[in-house]
Chain A
Amino acid sequence: MTIEKKGAGEILLAHGGGGLLSRRLIEEVFLNAFSNKYLAPLNDQAVLSVNRSRLAFTTDSYVVNPIFFPGGDIGRLSVCGTINDLAVGGARPLYLSASFIIEEGLAFDELGRVVKSMADTAREAGVEIVTGDTKVVERGKGDRLFITTAGIGVVDDSVDLSPSLIRPGDVIIVSGTIGDHGIAILTHREGIRMEAPVESDCAPLHSLAADMLKASGGGIRAMRDPTRGGLSSTLNEFAGSCMCAMVMDEDKIPVLETVRGACEILGFDPLYLANEGKLVAVVSPDAAPPVLEAMRRNPLGRDAAIIGAVEAKPGGKVLLETSIGNRRIIDMLSGEQLPRIC
């Protein structure tokens, strides 16, 4: 069923939600028009060969509301998000661009704080912001500040990552607690006060990814950072690429107590909530112990855990083995869980 056939002649907010509708939008509008071999795998980055070097190239836009939130701000997010899209492709991030769409009336002080945060994050991550652009739109035509960053990095010849390489018996590892960013934004935005406020996990993951690659002996099949649409959408993408089943064990998925509590109250599922400082990797069974150990040595992977394994059937599906012992299908996010989360 295509977008047109559904009779919805306009873009809905849900098309930006990172779930099934986003997927359809990309496949039916963009993939068709731009069709080429770099875009086709729909990875978070394209890996290009230039003069015998392998370059990873990616871009992302940030429209998060509000622009300052517990644990981060739109500036830090815009640097981390693009670094992470490079890192999960096995690249060492080098240079970033930054473009700003600023709404008339934004305070200089606020823009200054965002830009300083970007500079600090870039320094922390060892990347440089080397080019950019600014546009200003009339009041009411934007929402304070939108940022687009692009990034390039280099990929070692030895790195070969693709979800199509995933096979039955492989192990699924997540680098830490899931859903922190989504709950941090939501509770902050809606003014929901919690005993212990949840902070966004927003962080650059390239050092963690590098540690993992080094420890893996080539055993990492694929990595991705589960942002919009959450862990469930990322694993559904993996399952769709390798046509295996991704089977998660509910009790092994790390979730902060406060996030679980907020989800119970608000009716959200942590599996569908955005993360901005977590990655999920599928690794060969041999590589799993050393990779997990390397992750836990890095502060960003302290709570890393094996959350499941890959099985042959049912192909293309994600399953959750629940606490009380039955298995259910975990679909991609349908509709929109929370708008403008990143």
Chain B
Amino acid sequence: MKYIDDFRQRELALGILGKIREISSRKANVMEICGTHTHSISRYGIRDSLPPNIRLISGPGCPVCVTSANDVNRIIAFVRKERNVIVATFGDMLRVPGSGSTLQEEKARGSDIRVVYSPLDALDMAASNPGKEVVFYAVGFETTAPTVAATVLSAAEDGVKNLSVLSLHKLTPPAMKALLDGGDVEIDGFICPGHVTAVIGAGAYGFLSTRYGAPCVVAGFEPLDALLGLHMLIRQIEEGRSEIEIEYGRVVTWEGNVRAQGIINEVFEPADSVWRGIGTIPSSGLKIRDAYGRFDAEKKFQMDAGADVEPAGCMCGSVLKGLITPDGCPLFAAACTPADPVGPCMVSSEGTCAAFYKYRKVVA
């Protein structure tokens, strides 16, 4: 734990905050892409400690949250129809509200839905349930994709016939590009996700600095990492530079994890994907290549399109685009709480609304 505590030292944090205040003179709209950054920033009260000219905007970096309403409803319809199927997924997906139901409620009604901590668990599940079809409901970014790809490769090697993957994976750089192209939200620089970049490499953001003039800093998730990253980014903005810089050097390199990239490319190819709140972004998803088509749940099963209806009153879409903060939604902390979530951003441990709620201020 020493390695973690070292990056949470209060005196050092206050020192870096002081340095940010010293150099910051102009307006800076900074988007942190990753939900884990959003949580760290909220947990340590960083947003309120910054000078008012620096605005932190939370981006679409929570995999559960960006999964479209259509996809959420599609899997609910699927588990209702297919009774000989085990759906394996990550815990947060069970509570995401669809139109009138959740996977958690379908589970209580008899569908076989199981929470896993690793996609590899789905492989064991397939082996121990030979009479059933196991579908791994895969959400996640470039961080999750390599393990899912490795699961498919293992299944191929072992000749597993009763496992498939519904790939809803999303890719980070195309979403950043789409936000800048859309122009709805003003962004002066990005705090880039540490672990996604550990896989794809910091070089993947090159186009943001060259074509869009957007400075980027790849930062870690502990408070000192986030603050150092912010300091580096504010310095770039103040000096009019737009470069890619790495704060999280103990994990992140320019080329990334080449082996993980290789596994992803072996199994997946880029495809258009629908993001909640943003819509279809070209080449922002991962679909299973034809060579592994027998593991593609969309090919194996008839999966009807789900209702593309957002929960009534839910503003998750605007939150995900960075147009509003959660407290700008009338449902926030009133009709929508972690116990009774209306939208996915309140459900997921990486969701922006969940972060704002969990670390909300104390009103005496």
Contact = CB atoms under 8 A, between A and B. Distances in A.
A328 B337 CA distance: 16
A8 interface: yes
Contact of B340 (A1, A11, A323): A1
B338 A13 contact: no
B10 A190 contact: no
A296 interface: no
Contacts of A317: 362
A324 B44 contact: yes
Interface string A1-33: 100001110111110000111000000000000
A334 B337 contact: yes
A13 to B, nearest CB: 7
A237 B361 CA distance: 21
B8 A328 contact: no
A329 B339 contact: no
Interface in B275-302: none
Nearest to B117: A190
B215 to A, nearest CB: 27
Query: Chain A interface mostly helix, strand, loop or mixed?
Result: loop
Contacts of A335: 95, 338-339
A8 B108 CA distance: 10
Interface residues of B, number: 29
Nearest to B4: A264
Contact of A324 (B8, B109, B362): B8
A10 B108 contact: yes
Given A21-B339, A331-B338, A11 B45 contact: no
A314 B117 contact: no
A328 B108 contact: no
A12 B364 CA distance: 34
A313 B364 contact: yes
Interface string B143-159: 00000000000000000
A267 B349 contact: yes
A313 to B, nearest CB: 5
Interface string B4-47: 10001010010000000000000000000000000000011100
Interface in B135-192: none
B105 A8 contact: yes
Interface string B330-341: 000000011110
Given A6-B340, A334-B338, A323 B1 contact: no
Nearest to A257: B1
B42 to A, nearest CB: 9
A106 to B, nearest CB: 19
Given A8-B105, A10-B108, A317-B362, 16 more contacts: A10-B109, A12-B107, A13-B104, A13-B108, A257-B1, A264-B1, A314-B363, A314-B364, A322-B44, A323-B10, A328-B360, A328-B362, A329-B360, A334-B337, A334-B339, A335-B339
Interface of B: 1, 4, 8, 10, 13, 43-45, 95, 100, 104-105, 107-109, 117, 223, 337-340, 349, 358-364
7 contacts: A10-B109, A12-B107, A12-B108, A266-B117, A313-B364, A325-B10, A328-B361
